[in-house]
A and B are shown apart, each in its own frame.
Chain A
Amino acid sequence: MEALAGAAGWLAANPLTFLGAVGDHLMLSLVGLGLGILVALPLGVAVAHRPRLAEAAIAGAGALRTIPSLAVLAALLPLLGVGFTPSVLALALLALPPVLVNTVTGLRGADRAALDAARGLGMGAVRRALQVELPLASPLVFAGLRIAAVQVVSAAALATFIGGGGLGDLVTQGLALLDTGRMLVGAVAIALLALATEAGFGLLERHLARRMGGA
């Protein structure tokens, strides 16, 4: 109770600091996620139908996934220093594996006959990818995006360790200053943001599934 009161008190006294942290957190997450998708999606499309490369990509993604987020951040520190850029890059690296793996699996599992028909009817490679392959793979691709988004939103809390800002700052500051209220606000906000991301993508996914007609 006391802790909650402290949190409410801190929030009432520092609304702008809180909103600023939320804004930074969202910015870090969005740019990191966007960057990750921008690399993983085309990469997935490119390797999906080349068995050797696809396996290599999935293996690489698996390896990347086993490295703890904090270790990725720490590894980037000597390379890129501190601040927004290395944080965003670390988050992009984190977003990469789920998007890549799900894109490759989705494309490889797409209805062979439909793809064959698309080719046989005279669709070029780009049109096939955009109009047939990706839509057919979209349920899995979308699930990949959801996983990546939730991971990135959670991991963005760690950016504070290399000076990237975000809600993690509230937690570290609260710890350093023994200010439980501030720490709690940060922690709860991070958790809620992750939950909201999961729920939002879940809704989108269901909408998409309905549009695909359950096929």
Chain B
Amino acid sequence: MIELRGLTKRWPGADRAAVDEVTLSVPEGTSCALIGPSGSGKTTTLRMVNRLVEPSGGSLRIAGEDALKQDPVRLRRGIGYVIQEVGLFPHRSVAENVATVPRLLGWADARIKARVEEVLTLTGLDPARFAARRPHQLSGGERQRVGVARALAGDPPVLLMDEPFGAVDPVVRGRLQEEVLRLLKTLRKTVLVVTHDLEEAVRLGDAVAVLRDGRMAQHAPAAEMLARPADGFVAEFLGSDRALKRLALLPAVAARREGRAEGEALPPGASLRDALAALLARGTKAVPLADGGVATLDAVAEAGAPMSAAAAGPAGSP
């Protein structure tokens, strides 16, 4: 659980606060995506949580404890941190990079070695191939994975990520997002992730928080925010196709109707977006669902409309 209450940062000499009384809580085991235009204070907010930036006001609690009263160096060892530039230590091997926090925590060598292999495997890197390499011998995507592995190595309950997949191409990026998302869910980490990419925010965040000029514009589950932006700024930020984006977050079964249809059934766990895509691609009026019944064009439109019953209980909301 991460709780920010009225957290404020005023940089010396700045005429307005970079982060202005931001209140936000991320419940245990969920993720929150911080999003907003450039300069809106996302990085500053994130870095106040591990106290790389000292807040000028407000309070901060992590796992129920007052984080502003703790020694910052100790505090950081319990918080995973992934930055956009990755920031691997170029003079150290992948294994040594990953072992950073366990070493700081004073673990025994055997335990560190086992843990390094474990997190490398978790992040999709074969220890036999990668452990001994230097960062410059890795591709951009592999480096990002090492960055995530290093953040997870000390098994911190809380993870902070600042544009974690910024440095890789869109294809690798999508795959990394999927994998990391699944990993963080299974590990039940509490995650605060900064991004300026709405797709990424929706995909990675159970909840999304939009910042504007250092203030919280809206904080809500992704599907709810896409359905009901708090104001014109948020609506514009989410884009005119927000209703379409939202379909990806709702289950196809929300559009279930009795009946039969030709063609292959949609896979279990398919979204309304998948259903719509299949309907358009096949040029039919109905597609079969995995567990029986069909999704029809009308039903998709109805279920996907912001005021529908499905919007009140979207898939995957916290």
Q: Which residues of A contact B (CB under 8 A)?
A: 111-124, 127, 132, 135-136, 211-215
Contacts and interface: CB of A to CB of B under 8 A. Distances in A.
A212 B93 CA distance: 10
B73 A116 contact: no
Contacts of A215: 90-91, 134-136
Contact of A122 (B74, B136, B160): B74
B177 interface: no
A158 B74 CA distance: 53
A117 B87 contact: yes
A124 B74 CA distance: 9
A136 B85 CA distance: 16
B87 A111 contact: yes
Interface string B20-62: 0000000000000000000000000000001010000000000
B77 A136 contact: no
A122 B73 contact: yes
Contacts of A136: 89-91
Contacts of A212: 90-91
Contacts of B104: 121-123, 127
A120 B90 contact: no
B4 interface: no
9 contacts: A113-B87, A115-B87, A118-B87, A120-B81, A122-B74, A123-B100, A127-B104, A213-B91, A215-B136
B43 to A, nearest CB: 11
B286 interface: no
Contacts of A135: 91
B73 A120 contact: no
Given A120-B76, A121-B101, A123-B104, A114 B88 contact: yes
Q: Which of B86, B87, B101, B136: most chain A CB closer than 10 A?
A: B87
Contacts of B75: 122
A214 B136 contact: yes
Interface of B: 50, 52, 73-78, 81, 83, 85-91, 100-101, 104, 134-137, 150-151, 160
Contacts of B91: 135-136, 211-213, 215
Contacts of B134: 213, 215
Given A121-B101, A215-B135, A215-B136, A114 B74 contact: no
Q: Which of B76, B81, B85, B91: most chain A CB closer than 10 A?
A: B91
Nearest to A117: B87
A121 B90 contact: no
A144 B96 CA distance: 28
A4 to B, nearest CB: 48
Contacts of B136: 213-215
Contacts of B86: 113, 117
A57 to B, nearest CB: 24
B104 to A, nearest CB: 6
Contacts of B50: 120
A120 B52 contact: yes
Nearest to B93: A213
A136 B86 CA distance: 16
A120 B158 CA distance: 13
Contacts of A211: 91
B138 to A, nearest CB: 11
A124 B103 CA distance: 13
A215 B137 CA distance: 9
B83 A113 contact: yes
Nearest to B160: A120
Contacts of A119: 52, 76
Contacts of B76: 119-122
Given A114-B89, A215-B134, A120 B83 contact: yes
A119 B146 CA distance: 17
